[in-house]
Structure 1
Amino acid sequence: MNHGFLIDMDGVIYRGSELIPGAEKFISKLRREDIPFLFLTNNSQRTRRDVATKLMRMGINVEEEHVFTCAMATARFLARQKPCGTAYVIGEGGLTQALHTNGYSIVDHDPDYVVVGEGRSFNFEMIETAVRMILNGAKLVATNMDPNCPTQHGLRPGCGAIVAMLETATGQKAFSVGKPSPIMMRHARKELGLATSEVTMIGDTMETDILGGVEMGYNTVLVLSGGTCRDDLVNFAYQPGRVVDSIADLCDALELVAGSAA
């Protein structure tokens, strides 16, 4: 089968700290049959190695090459826009490492960009600093615009919530690189080395995973094990190519999934 998969994680592979039944079987089947795949995440906190380690500890046998984060997509985008540029970062290790890997320096004054990702370590002083930088000409870039992040204890503010403060204070709109942006979705396809018609996006969120896949012309599969219920589908002008209860339903139907209409 000349096909590959882009797979969201939270709500598809696991919920909180619990592996979703069937996830390990599905990934093992992909590896056994040498089918290319990438885990796509809009969380910029962890490096791809950290994400792979988390998955391995949960029983999913993968390497870091199977992980593609919005931090990586953002850093690659900025490196093409302005090679060897500078950034003031509101975020954590996954984002700063990605920027360093792509030739960027992290600075605390006169940056080319203010780059915002997820994190719990930011404070209002950092917000004030970022506002002044943006008003002085730095461009505002978001790794994603997700308004919140799921945790074991419920939702917490996401990257989009932090960005909203900066947009409101400065009057400047952020440029976002993560899902559903075609920048991240196209990068991921190129990582797989496949054509548009050879890619299936599996996700649990209509506004990011499925929207991004539909806009790129990928095959799309919505799983109902995460943040979307079947009744929610009537609220969207676009629809997934296939809807299943969980990734377990895909284990014995890879060819059917690959051939589903986007």
Structure 2
Amino acid sequence: MTANYQAYFIDLDGTTYKGKKRIPAAARFIKRLQSAGKQVLFVTNNSTRSPQFVADNLARNHGINVGPANVYTTALATADYLDQAAGEKRSVYVVGESGLREALAAKGFKDDDQAPDFVVVGLDSHVTYEKLEKAVLLIRAGAKFIGTNADSNLPNERGMVPGAGSIVKLVEYATQQKPLMIGKPEKIIMEMALQRVGLSTADAVMVGDNYHTDIQAAINVGMDSLLVYTGLSRPAEVAQEDIQPTYTVETLDDWKIN
């Protein structure tokens, strides 16, 4: 099994590691990609952490040596998309954490809790009723509703805790408005990631463990995909899907790099 791609977009949890647990084949896979001169970009729906934090975690805890430029989060994708689409509209109200706030600020967006152009809702572990109330009222008053991603749950050491999508859904229910979604499985994050590396869909492959986010995102943007069975999706479940991943492997050790 082999194919020649210039860039590999790679998911994190379930693909590169499992919570705090290493996936040794993933570290070997990244080293092989680096030795072959491939572009490596970790594409993650997590909007809470900065690229530097993610890169530091990969190096310190998982034996994977990359820099912040190798990390692309939904926070960055949201900021990049709005930077291109917003024109002169540069005010935002954010339900989210530092990673999202920093990414938007870096693109020149200013906090506004009175009459913002956009309300951006992501994962926020310190969310309050007051924050949600404000987000709902601002959207109902005319602000455009943006959601970082639709993940209903997030795996951690305690189990499957509420994800960003759970917060987005609450705001959607209270406003009766559909948000523009940025993260996997939507194609916006993939389009922004391709722009970031300066390549077309034919030059990159998406590597992930979750058919419904990683693989579906690749399908939605017209990219090849590599599903690895080290995380969420199982072979019997994937076999039922109408559109199959381009490739599947039991472990990333099984993938030959051209």
Deviation at 1:194, TM superposition (A): 2.3
Counterpart check, 1:198 vs 2:203 = yes
**Structure 1 segment 228-247 matched on structure 2, within 5 A:** 228-247=233-252
Displacement over 4 Å in runs of 4+: none
How far, CA to CA, are the matches of 1:186 and 1:232 in structure 2? 27
Greater mean alpha carbon deviation, residues 96-105 or residues 187-196: 187-196
Q: What is aligned with 2:216?
A: 211
* Alpha-carbon contact 1:90-1:116 (below 8 Å) kept: yes
How far, CA to CA, are the matches of 2:5 and 2:49 in structure 1? 31
Greater mean alpha carbon deviation, residues 124-133 or residues 90-99: 124-133
Q: What is aligned with 1:78?
A: 82
- TM (normalized to structure 1)? 0.93
Report the number of matched residues: 253
Structure 1 gaps, min length 5 = 256-262
How far, CA to CA, are the matches of 2:32 and 2:252 in structure 1? 12
How far, CA to CA, are the matches of 1:28 and 1:233 in structure 2? 28
For residues 51-103 of structure 1, what are the alpha-carbon distances to aligned partners after superposition, in whole Å with 9 as ceiling and x for unaligned?
11111112110011100011101011112222451111111010000000111
Deviation at 1:217, TM superposition (A): 2.1
Structure 2 gaps, min length 5 = none
- TM (normalized to structure 2)? 0.94
Greater mean alpha carbon deviation, residues 114-123 or residues 185-194: 185-194
Aligned residue type for 2:198: G
Indicate the SS of the match to 2:239. Answer: helix
**Structure 1 segment 1-262 matched on structure 2, within 5 A:** 3-58=6-61, 59-83=63-87, 85-250=90-255, 253-255=256-258
Cα RMSD after superposing both structures: 1.3
Aligned residue type for 1:254: I
* Alpha-carbon contact 1:21-1:248 (below 8 Å) kept: no
Aligned residue type for 1:61: N
Percentage identity across aligned positions?
Answer: 38
For residues 126-153 of structure 1, what are the alpha-carbon distances to aligned partners after superposition, in whole Å with 9 as ceiling and x for unaligned?
1111111111111110011111111111
